[in-house]
Amino acid sequence: DAGVIQSPRHEVTEMGQEVTLRCKPISGHNSLFWYRQTMMRGLELLIYFNNNVPIDDSGMPEDRFSAKMPNASFSTLKIQPSEPRDSAVYFCASSWDRANTEAFFGQGTRLTVV
Amino acid sequence: TQLLEQSPQFLSIQEGENLTVYCNSSSVFSSLQWYRQEPGEGPVLLVTVVTGGEVKKLKRLTFQFGDARKDSSLHITAAQPGDTGLYLCAGDNYGQNFVFGPGTRLSVLP
């Protein structure tokens, strides 16, 4: 397996534009996580899915952020409209199960909003 | 909200030295994980500790989970430049949520 695949690796966009980040989890994993990492706040959990169903979205900062998982092999994180403070590295991770199991991370998407 | 604190925030040492980094919380966790993250990459799991007082060794790395399952330490013996990276601890609150600490950024100079 190629691991968790995220695209794009880098995204530069203007404030106000819509941004869509994509993630393909490892085949067979039933939990998927979206994280955001900044120097100031570290690694923050935004949302996680179990069996394609959103379980905890309490980390989603505001209504401008939305995430979907239409099937077991694909998830998106959308920001609309984007703002400069959304600039960060966004990671997707997947695992066999929610608790006490290893989370495999993708390489991340570095988002810059200017 | 459960919080994990890590210390030190930054650490720069010479190759061959020993070091210990810490992960502390006022909350009890069902398990705790340590990850290492290299620049431009996602975190990679090093170890999971589950039982209070548990000690696990991974080559030159020794991990310990506190008796009360509120804290953990990572000790590296004879550090090498390849150990350079961001070390993150992550606590699992009995499946309710999963929180990461801010990390310790380690630099091992040759």
Predicted confidence pLDDT, tens digits, chain A (114 residues):
679 999 999 999 999 999 999 999 999 999 999 999 998 888 999 999 999 999 889 889 889 999 999 999 999 999 999 999 999 999 999 998 766 578 899 999 999 999
CB spacing of B94 vs A99 below 8 angstroms: yes
Predicted pLDDT at B92: 87
Smallest Cβ–Cβ distance between A106 and the set B42, B97, B100 belongs to: B42
- Residue ranges of chain B with pLDDT lower than 50? none
List the structure tokens of B88.
């993150």
CB-side exposure of A37: number of CA atoms within 13 Å? Answer: 25
In this complex, is the C-beta atom of B25 within 8 Å of any C-beta atom belonging to chain A? no
- The contacts of residue A41 (CB under 8 Å, 6+ apart) are none
**How many angstroms away from the CA of B47 is the closest CA of chain A?**
9
Q: Cβ of A46: how many Cβ atoms within 10 Å?
A: 20
Predicted pLDDT at A1: 64
CA distances in angstroms from B91 to A48, B28, B72, listed in the order given: 16, 9, 10
CB spacing of B42 vs A91 below 8 angstroms: yes
The CA-to-CA distance between both ends of chain A, in Å, stands at 36
In this complex, is the C-beta atom of B82 within 8 Å of any C-beta atom belonging to chain A? no
CA distances in angstroms from B18 to A5, A51, B60, B101, listed in the order given: 36, 43, 10, 22
**Which residue is closest to A37 within chain B, CA to CA?**
B102
List the structure tokens of A96.
């066999």
Per 3-state DSSP, chain B is made up of helix, strand and coil in percentages (nearest 5) of 5, 55, 45
Q: Cβ of B35: how many Cβ atoms within 10 Å?
A: 23
Angle subtended at Cα A97 by Cα B45 and Cα A48, rounded to the nearest 5 degrees: 85
Percentage of chain B exceeding pLDDT 70: 96
Using a CB-CB cut-off of 8 Å, the residues of chain B touching A4 are 42
- Which of A24, A100, A107, A109 to mutate to test binding with chain B, by most B CBs within 10 Å of its CB? A100
- The contacts of residue A62 (CB under 8 Å, 6+ apart) are none
Predicted pLDDT at A105: 95
CB-side exposure of B91: number of CA atoms within 13 Å? Answer: 25
CB spacing of B102 vs A42 below 8 angstroms: yes
